[in-house]
Amino acid sequence: MHDSVPPFSAATGNADFDAALDLCVNLAAGELRLAVTPEVGGCIAAFFSQTAAGLLHWMRPATRDALVAADPLGMGSFPLVPFCNRIRDGRSDAAARPVRLRQMLADVPHALHGLGWRRPWRVTARAAASLTITFTHDGDGGWPWRFEAWQRFDLAPDALTVTLGLRNLDGEVMPAGLGHHPYYPRDAATRLTTSVATMWEADDTQLPTRQTVPNWLARLPRGIEVEAIYPGITFDNNFTGWSREARIDWPGRAQALCIEAGAPLDYALAYVPAGKDFFCFEPVSNVTDWMNLAATGERDVGGHWLAPGEMLETVTRFVLKAV
Give the mean model confidence (pLDDT) for residues 31-44.
98
pLDDT at 8 over 80: no
Return the percent helix, strand and coil in the chain, to nearest 5: 10, 45, 40
- Which one, of 261, 41, 44, lies nearest residue 153 by Cα? 44
Count of domains observed in the chain: 1
State residue 4's pLDDT score.
41
Is 8 domain-assigned? no
∠ CA 3-9-15 to the nearest 5 degrees?
70
Asked if 27 and 129 touch (Cβ cutoff 8 Å), the reply is yes
Is 225 a member of any domain?
A: yes
Range of the domain at 121: 15-322
Cβ atoms of residues 174 and 231 within 8 Å = no
Q: Is the pLDDT of residue 10 over 90?
A: no
Residues 6 or more apart whose CB falls under 8 angstroms from that of 121 comprise: 38, 39, 41, 42, 133, 134, 135, 151
d(CA 315, CA 153): 10
**What is residue 116's three-state secondary structure?**
helix
Half-sphere exposure of 2 (CA within 13 A, CB side): 20
- Kindly report the CATH number assigned to the domain that includes residue 229: 2.70.98.10
> How far apart (Å, rounded) are the C-alpha atoms in residues 214 and 216?
6
The tens digit of pLDDT for each residue in 211-227 reads 999 999 999 999 999 99
Q: Which amino acid is at 276?
A: K
Strand pairing class (208-212; 198-202): antiparallel
What pLDDT score was predicted for residue 103? 77
User: Does any domain span residue 5?
Assistant: no
pLDDT exceeds 60 at position 253: yes
**Is residue 1 assigned to a domain?**
no
- Predicted pLDDT at 206: 87
Please give the average per-residue pLDDT across 66-83, as a whole number.
Answer: 96
Domain assignment present for 4: no
Which range, of 10-24, 34-48, 289-303, averages the lowest pLDDT?
10-24
* Residue 10 within a domain: no
Whether pLDDT at 268 is above 90: yes
| Bridge partner list, 184 | 279
- Band the pLDDT of 11: cuts 50, 70, 90: low
Mean pLDDT within 266-291: 97
Residues 76, 69: Cα–Cα separation, whole Å: 15
- pLDDT tens, position by position, 100-109: 998 777 777 8
Per DSSP, the three-state class of 180 is strand
* pTM score, whole prediction: 0.94
pLDDT in tens, 89-141: 989 999 999 999 987 777 778 888 999 999 999 999 999 999 999 999 999 88
Is residue 9 assigned to a domain?
A: no
In a domain, 65, yes or no: yes
